[in-house]
Amino acid sequence: MNIIFCKKDVARDRHLPMLQAFVKKNNYQTDIRVFGDAEDMLFKISDIEYSIDLLLLDVSFPNITGFEVVNRMKKNGFRGEAIFLTDIPDQWDRAFDVQAFHYVLESNCTKERFEDIVGRAILESEKKQQDTIVFTCAGERVIVPVRDISYFMVTDRWVTVHYGHNQSFEFFSRMGKIEQHLTGRGFVRIHRSCIVSVRYIAAVRYNQVILQDGTVLALARGKFATVKELFERYEGLGEVL
């Protein structure tokens, strides 16, 4: 699980340690990345918003509001939960406009209340991660969580979806249709016959993509820069601060 905590340095001293202690106490496999500036955050997570599970941020930053930040991230694939953590009391109604999980006034937020809100937001985000796709062929039907899919491979319009622990299912479709359906869900087309989930990439070489299970896939020359950048940005979220 990836969490972003975005507040000015002096404003995060109280609740950032609470967040770190909470995820540790509950044994969440969580990476927390901390930013002091919203525009810097947006630049560094551009194109990998889909990988953010929980966003905690203020409502006011230089040149941009927290509400604009959430809107922009959602347009780029953010499907997690957003919590506004602020001492500005009169903008809670705008949080509803961007469908935030909560609007928390720092001055009235005890450790117990903070942990309750964050815990419920994490549970809600985990439910969203169970987004599924139904595949059918010749009377057979499988339901696969999107997060379990590692890649798609097509041969003569027969597509094989690879998922879980060495599981696969073959069905009839077009790669363009699949690519469109997966927009904003963390997949990238590495050549005309293959679409890969960035979360399952272990390494990117000049003409190959290597997955975490050791699978080696061909990488089109013109796709190298795009795939490498997406992989490095996703991998960069592993920093724990």
Residue-wise pLDDT for 59-90, tens only, equals 989 899 999 999 999 888 788 899 999 988 88
DSSP H helix total and E strand total for the chain: 7, 17
Give percent of the chain with pLDDT exceeding 90.
50
Q: How confident is the model at residue 232 (pLDDT cuts 50, 70, 90)?
A: confident
4 has pLDDT over 50: yes
Cα separation of the two ends of the chain: 14
User: Where do the domains of the chain lie?
Assistant: 2-128, 132-236
Give pLDDT, residue 238.
Answer: 45
Where does 2-128 sit in CATH, by number? 3.40.50.2300
Give pLDDT, residue 171.
Answer: 94
Look-up of token digits 């359906």: 181
Quote the Cα angle for 107-110-113, to 5°: 120
Bin 139: left if φ > 0, else alpha if -120 < ψ < 50, else beta. Answer: left
Look-up of token digits 């409502």: 59
Mean pLDDT of 88-94: 87
Please determine whether the domains at 2-128 and 132-236 fall in the same fold group of CATH.
no
Residue (of 33, 125, 39) closest to 82 by Cα position: 125
Instruction: Write down the CATH superfamily of domain 132-236.
Output: LytTr DNA-binding domain (2.40.50.1020)
Mean pLDDT of 94-121: 91
